[in-house]
Structure 1
Amino acid sequence: WDVVNEAIDDGPRALLRRSPWLEAIGEDYIAEAFRMAHAADPDAVLIYNDYGIEERHKREKAVRLLRSLLDQGVPVHAVGMQCHWRMERPDLAEVEESIKAYAELGLQVMITELDIGVLPTHYSGADVGRQESMQGREAVMNPYRDGLPDVVAQQHAERYRQAFAMFHRHRDVIGRVTLWGVHDGRSWLNHFPIRGRTDYPMLFDRQGEPKPAFFAVVEALQPPIALAE
């Protein structure tokens, strides 16, 4: 179960985001949610899920929150890293450090909402109601309306290959990898944070055919082939 989702604040100071739960119950709402979920289903794996916690600025907050919960005996079993990524960020070395940091807390790591967008954006928050305009900037903000150039498709595939190679290295602590969609045509990134764009974040294209990224993932998960001497 994803018991608590996106509770950590994006800013440099506050630990928790302002939310109706925080205002009505106080900071204990997270611990109480996990305790109630555990009481309802004692065998369930209970997850704290958030975006951006694979990057250093939010990882430190997430570790602080999770360590506090564990010190109180709160039944948290795993941390979910959403992983809505772009071509240029995050730094995968930073992601790997985050996987190790959460594993050191004794938690499983789940990759819960993976996609890798190829279009530029300036917003990385969680307000899905927010919309930016690309008026006068269409050529820059929506450059692949007529198809993804082969060179970009190969770069996208390499990004996926590196990501899954990293996940495979840490398969002892990563419980699952879930992608946030199936094919490009149904991705939320076509409409967020700018409506009407043409993005290519998934492993399958708009016709449901596997892309170079799909084959890169398969390659990353193949065991090495022993060459005969």
Structure 2
Amino acid sequence: MPASALLHLLQFASPALPIGAYSYSQGLEAALERGIVADAATARAWIVGQLHEVVAPWEAAVCWRLMRAFQRRDMAAALMWSERFIASRDSAESRAETIQMGYSLTQLLAELGVADGALLAALRGQDEVALPTAYACAVVALAIPHEAALLALLFAWAENQVLVCVKSVPLGQVAGQRLLLSLRAELEAAARFAQSVRDEGMRNWAPGLSLLSMQHEVQYSRLYRS
């Protein structure tokens, strides 16, 4: 990978990117509240389960298709997958999460001037922009290799989940890094699956996660927005 592409990837996959990713737990805080996640072992089980049952076969697979669509300048396909992703958000919190971060990343791309006019117009032409859509657009605009971008997306998701556990289980900082390190093979497998799964094999059927997300909407005390 060229150094410039690597540096772009490190910047746009970083938790420090000002789009608000740190403020969401994606149902994990509700799982903590109910004792489903209570220590390092259950935290790892939760993350691995979500990775292989939801993130890889749907979110990452959609992002992979969005990157390919933007690369071909196939805006009809990009819009289709973006709309399908938004439609798949089955709670108010999960929908608001992807819309808020997608909007923030779109604004950031415009202010930084890193996306060409056609790509930026394709984003701004959508009524609502999902986070994977804006991320895929950034990847193409910055000439980042798609395979590396997909793996970085998965790592950023896992890192955010681990950080929630470090703060809320709580886990120690070293335990958190040990957990993140142990996910390497899982993340690699998830990336391979997302790239190879056929459209008819994509899925995000996770009713337990949907219920936790809905319960989190009325949770009395919480640190995160989802």
Do these two structures clear the TM 0.5 threshold for a shared fold by scoring above it? no
TM-score if structure 2 supplies the norm length?
Answer: 0.22
Structure number having the greater helix percentage? 2
User: Relative CO higher for 1 or 2, CA cutoff 8 Å, sep ≥ 6?
Assistant: 2
Higher radius of gyration, 1 or 2: 1
Structure number having the greater strand percentage? 1
TM-score if structure 1 supplies the norm length?
Answer: 0.22
